[in-house]
Amino acid sequence: MQSVKALRRWLVIVALLRLLAVFLGYFNHTKFQTNLFDNSPREVTELCGRVFAIWTLLTCALCCICARNPCVPSIYGATFFSFVAALCFFLLELFVYQTVSWKSALQPLIVAGVSTLWMGAGWNYYTTLSLDPDSSIVSEPETESAKRD
C-alpha cells in the first residue's frame, strides 16, 4: 500500500532529522543557542542541550519503531503523541515563553504539524491494517463476511 510506504518513509526521514538534533544536543549545545532558542540563548545550558537530546532520541526511536510496523495501535499512538508533544512544546516556546523566533521554530513546527495531522487523520486507517510479520506486507483487515466464508 502506497500510503503505508509513504508514512514509513516520512517517519524514517523525521528520525534522521531528529538524530541530527541529538548530536547537536550532546556535542554542540551552542547551536541550540543560536539556531533554535535564538530569543533566549542564555537559557540554553549544556544540561538543557543534553536533556533536549535524550528526549529527541526517545522520539527518534519511536519513529523508527513505528516505521517498522505502523499498524500496531500502541506504537502508532505513542509516536503520534510524541508529535503532539513536540508541537505543543514549540508552540509554547514561541508564544508563551518567547524563547524561539518564527524563523527558528518554523521547521520543527512544520514537521510536528504535518506529522500530527497525518497520523491523526490516518489513525483508523493505519491501525486497522494488518502487517504480515514475515514479509512486511500490509493487507486489508478481514471483513465479517470474509471470515464466515
pLDDT tens-digit map of 57-107: 999 999 999 999 999 999 999 999 999 999 999 999 999 999 999 999 999
Is pLDDT of 123 > 80? yes
* Residue 44 vs residues 32, 60, 90, 97: alpha-carbon distances, Å: 7, 21, 15, 13
Tell me the C-alpha distance between 83 and 75, whole Å: 13
Beta strand extents in the chain (DSSP E only): 130-132, 137-139
Report the alpha-carbon distance of residue 71 to residue 83 in Å, rounded.
17
pLDDT tens for 106-121 read: 999 999 999 999 999 9
CA-to-CA separations, 67 to 6, 64, 109, 126, in angstroms, rounded: 10, 5, 21, 12
Q: How confident is the model over 34-64, as pLDDT tens digits?
A: 999 999 999 999 999 999 999 999 999 999 9
